[in-house]
Amino acid sequence: MKVCLTGGTGFIGSRLSQLFKDNNIQVVHITRVDLKKGPKAIAQKVEGAGVVINLAGSPILKRWTEPNKQTIRDSRVETTKKLVEAILMVQNKPSMVMSASAVGIYDTVYEHDEFSDRLGKDFLASVCMEWEAALAPLLKTDIKLTVLRLGIVLDRQEGALAKMITPFKLGLGTVVGDGTQPFPCIHINDLLSAVWYILNHPKSSGIYNLVAPEMVSNHYFSKTLGKKLHRPVILRAYSFILKLLLGEGANALLKGQKVRPRRLLELGYPFQFPTIDSILQDLVIEKS
C-alpha cells in the first residue's frame, strides 16, 4: 500500500512515517514545494495512494501578529483546500483520507465529546472550523473521511513535554496562569497506535478526539510532572507576563478544552496510557 503524507517531516508526521515504513508500507511525502506548485503537482504524488494523511500546519505557540495568524491559518486551511482539489483530480482515488484538526475547535466552558456542537469563538477555533470545512467536497465521494482532533501530544524527545523536562528538573517548573485550565493531552505512542487502529478498523469514519480518557488541569499536570521528577513546583507563569510575551497567542496556554475520546473508546481502542500518571511514568522516568 502507498500512503501520502503532508507534514510528514514534522514531529508527528516523522514518527508516523517511521511506523508505516516499519510495516513495509510505502510513504510518499507531499512537500512544501509540491504545495507551492499547486494541485496538479500534488495529484502526481496522490495518484495510486491507498491513504492520504494531512498533518500540515505551522506551530501555533508564537506571538499572534497578523502575519503569524495568516500563516497559522493558511498552512492548514489553504493546504487542505489544495490537497482536496488534487484528490478530486486523480483517477485512482484513495480509499481513505485522514486529516488533522485540533480540540481547540471546542469552547473552553463545557465538556465535549465528538458530538458536541458547543464550538469556540476564538481565533484557533475559527481556524479549526475552516480547516475541517475545507474537507467538505470529499463527502460527495466514496472516500472514507476521518478527522483527528488532536490534543497536546506528549513525547520525551519532541513537542511540549520535551521542552518542559529540563526546567522542571532544575526546579524551575511552573503552573501556567491560575492552573485551572484543562490540559487535554495524549501520549505519542497512543496517538500513533490510535491512527493505526483507525486506519485498519472497517467501521472507522468521521471525527475522533485524540486525547487520553482522563481529563486533568494544567495545575494537576504540572504537579504530577514535578512529583515524577522529585522536584517542587512552586513557580507560576502569570497570565499578564504570557500576554506581554505572546499577545493573543497566550490563549493557547491560558485556556483549554475539557475533551473525552468517546468515539475512539466506542470503536474499541485500548489506550496504553489512559491517565496523566501513566503517561508521565513512561515518558519521564528513566528506564534502567
pLDDT at 286: 67
Q: Name the band, by pLDDT with cuts 50, 70 and 90, for residue 260.
A: very high
Residue pLDDT, tens place only, 166-203? 999 999 999 999 999 999 999 999 999 999 999 999 99
Q: What is the dihedral of CA 155, 156, 162, 165, to 10 degrees?
A: 130
Q: Which residues pair with 52 in a beta bridge?
A: 4, 97
pLDDT at 288: 43
Query: Does residue 287 surpass a pLDDT of 80?
Result: no
Higher model confidence: residue 288 or residue 5? Answer: 5
Q: Report H helices in the chain.
A: 11-22, 32-37, 39-46, 66-74, 77-89, 123-133, 159-169, 188-200, 218-228, 239-246, 251-254, 262-266, 276-284
Nearest to 169 by CA among 95, 237, 230, 255: 230
> What is the C-alpha to C-alpha distance for residues 204 and 222, in angstroms, rounded to an integer?
34
Domains of the chain with bracketed CATH: 2-284 (3.40.50.720)
> What is the C-alpha to C-alpha distance for residues 111 and 58, in angstroms, rounded to an integer?
27
For the entire predicted model, the pTM comes to: 0.95
Q: Name the band, by pLDDT with cuts 50, 70 and 90, for residue 285.
A: confident
| Residue 193 amino acid letter | S
Query: Does residue 141 surpass a pLDDT of 50?
Result: yes
Q: Interior CA angle at 204 toward 198 and 205, to 5°?
A: 115
> What is the C-alpha to C-alpha distance for residues 88 and 43, in angstroms, rounded to an integer?
9
Q: Name the band, by pLDDT with cuts 50, 70 and 90, for residue 240.
A: confident
